[in-house]
Amino acid sequence: MARPDTVEFWRPLLIAVGLVTAARVLLLWISPTDLYVDESQYWVWGQNLDFGYYSKPPMIGWVLRAFDELAIHRSAFTVRLPAPLFHGVTALLLAVWARSLLPQHRYAGLLVALAYLSLPIVTVGSFLISTDTIMVPFLVGALLLYWKLCEGGKFWHALLGGGLLGLAFMSKYAAIYFLPGAVIAYALYPAMRPKGRHLVTFLAGFLLAAGPNILWNIANDLTTVSHTMDNVGWIKEESKGPSLNFASLAEFAASQFAVFGPVFMVFWLRALRAPAPSRRRALLWFSIPVWFIVLTQALLSRAYANWAFAAIPPATIVAILWALERGATRWLRIGFGINVALALIISFLVAAPMAIKAGDGQPFAKRYVNIDGVSHDAFALAHENDLTTVVAHNRGILADLFFTGADGDLALYARPQSGAPSHYYAQKKALPADFEGTVLYVGFFEKLSCDGTEIQPIANLQQDVGTWSSAELPAYIVDAECLR
């Protein structure tokens, strides 16, 4: 029979996390938004299971393939369904971790879980499928088991913890931020030093899980690693090197207050100087290096708000436990209030993306509404002209062509590129060199010519609303040889 304190911990936690997760699943179900280009691409990857892909490690493709196999009817909803579920699992893991760090507070775990789910970046991540979302439960699981190792732990904690870290790495390479945090904590705090044999086992678990992608990269000219380094910007071969960009630094720093919540970020900053047990102080070091590295990247080039997402889960525990220990209940309520208000606004946009207008129309709709309109129009045009093949070169158009047309009867290809391919479709889905015949080509702000003769488009696939409402999308009937 379960102990009363265990029931008291799990019952409200499961109810609260379950209700939030169910509400987000329902919102996804009713949302009229289409998959963004990255989301469609992740799904396409999963149709060809591999140990790595053009720009990301393979886990997201595997997860989407699993959900796709279980789905009765494929849609944007079924592709995005893992997002709220993965964040829900992450919230539960954080609650268990927080409870072990502050056992004297009955609701520490519950408050940390709800705080995590309230974060603006987690709200957005619950409605869009991304590598951060897939990475985070594996990363938090690895951190939790590493903490147990530092308490003495067992062999299985080490092996499973290392394996989870490897799976986090297979989801997004940002999982490697675990390393500087663990090294610094090991150096500073004796309580954060696992036994040597456990460290070896932890490393073995990591290599067992991450090894397939490491070997895949070696066999494929470090494709994914090269793309990841390209994102850094200033280390590209064609780059002139680093230069100080203080505007980018300020923008990224401000974005972290926005994605984490301004009050919770102030809690975390206050915790930097607050006295705490060594293991709680060590927890800070699983966020500090992440933010420091990405702030440096922002200063030298640019950085997106989600690049420091690996810092968010441990920072959530630090922030909430700091507030609880100091009885900052008023500010805690204010922090929750701000984050919940932002979550409701984001949720409203997901449910009604056309409702809010700005100077250039509906900004949310321009990113997520009627993306598949071009694909449907292109397929209809191909059938009307008895064509069996559709070709495009824009990555956004190709992404939806392959998702929307996955079960159709048309062959889909990317226009061949000279030099290194600039995206996955040019790398893996390019028009074959021996292909002969006439195709429907969907252009993007371009004029097409063949042997010096300009070809006239038969239609413009520009849409009335949504993503492609401001794009010229000429459609051509052309011999495939003209596209090479």
pLDDT, one tens digit per residue, over 112-154 is 999 999 999 999 999 999 999 999 999 999 999 999 999 888 9
Best CA proximity match to 67, nearest among 56, 53, 77: 77
In a domain, 364, yes or no: no
In a domain, 367, yes or no: no
pLDDT of residue 415: 94
Q: Who's near 369: CB < 8 A, 6+ residues apart?
A: 32, 33, 34, 353, 354, 362, 465, 466, 467
**How far is the C-alpha of 174 from the C-alpha of 169, rounded, in Å?**
7
311 and 382 in a single domain? The answer is no
pLDDT of residue 1: 45
Could you tell me the pLDDT band of residue 65, with boundaries at 50, 70 and 90?
very high
Does the pLDDT value for residue 325 go beyond 50? yes
DSSP helix/strand/coil, 388: coil
240 and 159 in a single domain? The answer is yes
In a domain, 40, yes or no: yes
Domain count, the chain: 2
404 and 452 in a single domain? The answer is yes
Provide the mean pLDDT of the chain: 91
Q: Which of 318, 351, 384 is the last residue of a domain?
A: 351
65 and 115 in a single domain? The answer is yes
Question: Range with the lowest mean pLDDT among 20-34, 48-62, 229-243, 458-472?
Answer: 229-243
Does the pLDDT value for residue 39 go beyond 90? yes
Mean pLDDT of all residues in 63-72: 95
In a domain, 356, yes or no: no
pLDDT of residue 332: 97
Does the pLDDT value for residue 454 go beyond 50? yes
110 and 229 in a single domain? The answer is yes
CB 438 within 8 A of CB 477: yes
pLDDT of residue 228: 64
221 and 278 in a single domain? The answer is yes
The residue segments making up the domain with residue 167 are: 4-351
pLDDT of residue 294: 96
Does the pLDDT value for residue 334 go beyond 70? yes
Q: Which of 295, 316, 351 is the last residue of a domain?
A: 351
Residues paired with residue 275 on neighbouring β-strands, in sequence order: none
336 and 390 in a single domain? The answer is no
Q: Which of 319, 351, 383 is the last residue of a domain?
A: 351
CA within 13 Å, CB half, 31: 30
In a domain, 365, yes or no: no
In a domain, 101, yes or no: yes
pLDDT of residue 213: 94
In a domain, 363, yes or no: no
Task: Report the predicted TM-score, pTM, of the whole model to 2 decimal places.
Answer: 0.93
Could you tell me the pLDDT band of residue 3, with boundaries at 50, 70 and 90?
low
pLDDT of residue 372: 94
pLDDT of residue 159: 97
402 and 446 in a single domain? The answer is yes
Could you tell me the pLDDT band of residue 212, with boundaries at 50, 70 and 90?
very high
In a domain, 362, yes or no: no
pLDDT of residue 4: 61
pLDDT of residue 55: 84
213 and 64 in a single domain? The answer is yes
**Proportion of the chain above pLDDT 70, given as a percent:** 94
Could you tell me the pLDDT band of residue 232, with boundaries at 50, 70 and 90?
low
Radius of gyration of the chain (CA): 24
Residues paired with residue 460 on neighbouring β-strands, in sequence order: 474
Residue type, 135: M
77 and 171 in a single domain? The answer is yes
Taking only the tens place, the pLDDT of each residue in 351-388 is: 998 887 655 556 677 788 999 999 999 999 999 999 99
Could you tell me the pLDDT band of residue 60, with boundaries at 50, 70 and 90?
very high
pLDDT of residue 276: 78
61 and 109 in a single domain? The answer is yes
Could you tell me the pLDDT band of residue 242, with boundaries at 50, 70 and 90?
low
131 and 269 in a single domain? The answer is yes
The enclosing H or E element of 389 equals strand 389-392
Tokens in use for 3? Answer: 């102990």
CA 85 to mean position of chain CA atoms? 14
Does the pLDDT value for residue 236 go beyond 60? no
Could you tell me the pLDDT band of residue 61, with boundaries at 50, 70 and 90?
very high
